[in-house]
Structures are given as C-alpha cells and as structure tokens.
C-alpha cells in the first residue's frame, strides 16, 4: 500500500547552483512586489524554462495562493549567507518567517527557489485536548499512522501535526481496497460519512478540490477538501482529504457532536482514501503547534478504552456502534 503523506509547508525546487549576488537581491525584490500584488503569473514568468517544466503554472499559482492565505504579505528580507551563486535570506511575512533560497542564472531567470520554514521548537500552547471528543466515524477503522514515535507515526516530525492520525478501513481481504484499487470507489473508506467530534464552530472550510486518482497526490493543495473546527477551549481540529462535493458545512456554522460534516475522500496530498485528523493550537497551519488527541471512549478491538489516543495498527470503533 502506498505511504500516506501530508505536507504542511510550501516547497518549490528548481535546478540550484550554489556568494552573494546583486541579481538575486533584485530578483527577490521583484518577486516580493509581485507576490504582494498577487501577480503569480508575473512570478512564473521570472522562472527559467527548466524550472517551469518542473513546476507547472497552475501548480505555482496554487502554491503561492495557499502561502498567501497562511502567511499574508511579504514585508521584508535580510541576507543570511551565500555560496557559488545561491543566496539565502530570512524573509519576514505578516504571519511569520521563512528561509528563502534563490539563484538567478546567466539569462537573468530564476532557476532555483526554495521556501523553507524557519525552525520553531516552541511547544504548543497545550499538550492535549481538554474538550471531550468522540470518534469522527462509525464502524471499525484502522489506525494507519498514530502515536508518539516515528515508527508509529511519521507526522511527529512536523510541529503542527505532532498528534495527527491517518485512518483507513481495512476489509476482510486484509487490504484497504477491493478489486484492482485503481479507482477511489475501490477503497472501503471512500465516501464514508464523517462527523463532528464535539460541539464546535466551523473555523475554515476548503472545498472544490478534485479527488485524486489513487497513488497520484496533489501537493499544491495539501489539505484537499477540509474542515477545521474550533472548540470553546481554543482547540482547532482539522479534517483533511474529504470527498469533493460532500462538505455539508460552511465557515461560521455552529455544529454539535455527531453532526455530519462530509465524506472521506482522496483529495489533496493523499495517495488513497483516508481521513487525516489532527489538533492544533491556532488557525494557521503554518505557524500553529500540534497537540495530542484523546477520545473519550474507544473500542480497540473488543476492549473499551477511556481517554485514549489511538496508535498505529489499532482497529478502533465507537462503543455499541
């Protein structure tokens, strides 16, 4: 089965040759102006032919649009270091900072551009949820990723996703799909209803993202169709990769525990139908810290667990459900 992968950062990579260059400074100044005016076509026109071949125009537009939504205006930058033509800068945006590497070639085109999060080891505002939660689905699901170690949960290396889960459904055949597995409809989780884990307010909705063909991911829209709930305790609960056209809520809606939100899908940076769920301490995916997620009551196989956070390979369900 293909590895389930979720990216929370924006990364653009071209062919990069590695000293400080006035051309790089001028290019970054131009890019800054184009970005702030949301002229992503102008940025695309600055790229070398080889870079454009690696990053399609529509993908670049979506990446910068997502980045703009999360980080806001590009306010300033300062030189950090450089080597053999590539320069690195610390860029300050309205909602945070990014490390930016840039290389302008002999044709005055950008052939290398890298936006990378500045390391942030600050702990989240809270370690775990205090709001009582129920599982977001009915029936038995399989915990593909979950836990506190890298062996159990590859998400733990990403600050905002430290407590994240990926849930799938496994059939009697021991697989997450039947038939060939080449269609989304072959996957047991695809189209399954998902529910609010608690009373909350809908803080964000992303919709209109196409479901992927299995194994083909969409990193330019990492969450895919998604819902973010905000609890009264300031916990932000993210449901990602939902089915296109299935979302039943909008931003600002007040939902109750157990209310239908939408269906499990395969949209965004997802290789197959699954639910990605995590809790973070703020609304911004690129600056928030992640927390562990505990559910009030969970059946793990035939055993009832209370105040439990599922770990990899757990088969879980709601009690009496």
Q: Is 239 contained in some domain?
A: yes
93 and 155 share one domain: no
Residues 6+ apart with CB under 8 A from 79: 20, 25, 87, 88, 89
Note down the domain range covering 233: 141-317
How many domains does the chain divide into? Answer: 2
207 and 301 share one domain: yes
In this prediction, residues 210-239 reach a mean pLDDT of: 95
Q: Is 128 contained in some domain?
A: no
176 and 306 share one domain: yes
Q: Is the pLDDT of residue 3 over 90?
A: no
Query: Would you state the pLDDT for residue 13?
Result: 41
In this prediction, residues 234-258 reach a mean pLDDT of: 98
* Alpha carbons 201 and 303: distance in angstroms, whole number: 32
CA distance to 101, 160, 288, per residue, from 121 (Å): 21, 11, 11
Q: Do residues 281 and 263 touch, judged by C-beta distance below 8 A?
A: no
pTM of the model: 0.79
145 and 264 share one domain: yes
Q: Is the pLDDT of residue 6 over 50?
A: no
Q: What letter would DSSP give residue 92?
A: E
pLDDT tens figures, 148-180: 999 999 999 999 999 999 999 999 999 999 999
> H-helix or E-strand containing 254?
strand 254-255
pLDDT tens figures, 60-71: 998 898 888 888
CATH number at residue 60: 3.10.450.100
148 and 113 share one domain: no
pLDDT tens figures, 265-285: 999 999 999 999 999 999 988
162 and 110 share one domain: no
């Amino acid at each position: 089965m293909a590895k389930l992968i979720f990216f929370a950062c924006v990364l653009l990579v071209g062919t990069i040759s590695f000293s400080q260059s006035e051309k790089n400074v001028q290019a970054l100044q131009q890019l800054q102006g184009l970005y702030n005016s949301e002229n992503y076509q102008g940025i695309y026109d600055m790229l070398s032919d080889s870079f454009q071949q690696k990053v399609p125009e529509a993908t670049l537009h979506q990446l910068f649009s997502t980045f703009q939504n999360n980080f806001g205006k590009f306010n300033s930058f300062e030189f950090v270091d450089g080597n053999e033509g590539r320069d690195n800068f610390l860029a300050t945006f309205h909602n945070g900072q990014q490390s930016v590497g840039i290389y302008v070639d002999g044709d005055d085109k950008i052939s290398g551009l890298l936006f990378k999060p500045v390391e942030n080891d600050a702990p989240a505002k809270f370690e775990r949820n205090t709001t009582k939660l129920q599982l977001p689905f009915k029936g038995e699901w399989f915990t593909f990723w979950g836990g506190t170690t890298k062996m159990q949960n590859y998400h733990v290396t990403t600050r905002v996703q430290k407590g994240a889960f990926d849930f799938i459904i496994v059939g009697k055949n021991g697989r997450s799909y039947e038939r060939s597995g080449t269609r989304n409809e072959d996957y047991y989780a695809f189209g399954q209803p998902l529910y609010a884990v608690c009373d909350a307010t809908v803080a964000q909705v992303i919709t209109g993202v196409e479901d992927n063909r299995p194994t083909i991911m969409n990193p330019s829209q990492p969450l895919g169709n998604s819902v973010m709930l905000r609890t009264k305790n300031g916990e932000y609960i993210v449901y990602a990769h939902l089915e296109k056209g299935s979302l039943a809520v909008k931003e600002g809606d007040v939902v109750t525990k157990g209310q239908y939100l939408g269906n499990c899908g395969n949209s965004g940076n997802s290789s197959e139908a699954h639910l990605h769920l995590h809790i973070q301490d703020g609304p911004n995916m690129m600056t928030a810290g992640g927390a562990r997620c505990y559910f009030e009551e969970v059946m793990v196989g035939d055993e009832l667990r209370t105040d439990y956070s599922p770990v990899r390979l757990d088969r879980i369900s709601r009690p009496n459900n």
